[in-house]
Chains A and B, each alone.
Chain A
Amino acid sequence: MRIYGGRGRGKLGFINVFLLCENPKISDPVRFYVDTGASRTTISDRDAARLGIDYAELEESSTPSFGIGSKRVKTYHLRSVLLVFRVVGGGFYIERVSVISVLKHEPQTEEEREIVDQIPSLLGADVLQKYNIRFTPKRVVLEK
């Protein structure tokens, strides 16, 4: 089974995924950047806004999260998520993920806000560990 993604900003690999969740109800596509350095698959602040996620409906994580910028980030749990991938040759493949993190940065300045809003959603090691990953000049490929 093979899944193709593309190469985007800074040649990072990305994969378009259809995200399904029952509570809260989400049924929308999301672009995830492939990031083996992220422990968990995460939805960025910007995608959370685009998906209409209300943080008040989610449980806040008690485990602190840190990024490259070394600042602590509030995270919320989105539970029982289905990630639907388009498969090469036709059809779809579902990854069932028990918990996805939804980021909620708390920028202190307008400049910080601008940077936060450019952070993408990440497909993390929780999902990627199930695949062999390779890069070609134009693609990222997940296989299993």
Chain B
Amino acid sequence: MPILVSQQKKEFRKFENNMKWFQDNYEKLRELHAGEYVAINNSEVVMHNKDVRTLITQLREQYKDIGAFVIEFVSKEKYELIL
């Protein structure tokens, strides 16, 4: 039995591509969406909102499956994470 079935492999690849697009375009996103969460799918911002829970609720209303979507915060300024 394969580790991931075809649909899961596709979703994984899409997620990776969406994440790469988010990182590659971060400075542009900062100009447009600083202080907001963005939802990225197929190399574009499909929705944005200051509240991530509202954003997720709205995405679920509009899309059947958001598994491959990247949902990330666009910071106004650079900051460090100390985990």
Contacts and interface: CB of A to CB of B under 8 A. Distances in A.
A80 interface: no
Q: Is the interface of B mostly helix, strand, loop or mixed?
A: mixed
Nearest to A82: B3
A38 B83 contact: yes
A56 interface: no
Query: Interface extent on A, as a size class?
Result: 20 to 34
Contacts of A120: 81, 83
A49 B56 contact: yes
B67 A84 contact: no
Interface string A90-121: 00101000000000000000000000011110
B63 interface: no
A18 B83 contact: no
Nearest to A91: B3
Interface string A80-91: 000010100000
Interface string A113-144: 00001111010000000000000000000000
A24 interface: no
Nearest to A12: B81
Given A28-B67, A117-B53, 9 more contacts: A12-B83, A16-B12, A29-B68, A37-B83, A38-B83, A49-B53, A49-B56, A84-B3, A84-B4
Interface of A: 6, 8-10, 12, 16, 18, 27-29, 31, 33, 35, 37-38, 46, 49-50, 52, 67-68, 84, 86, 92, 94, 117-120, 122
Q: Which 7 residue pairs across A and B have the least CB separation, nearest first?
A: A29-B15, A28-B67, A10-B80, A92-B3, A117-B52, A18-B12, A10-B81
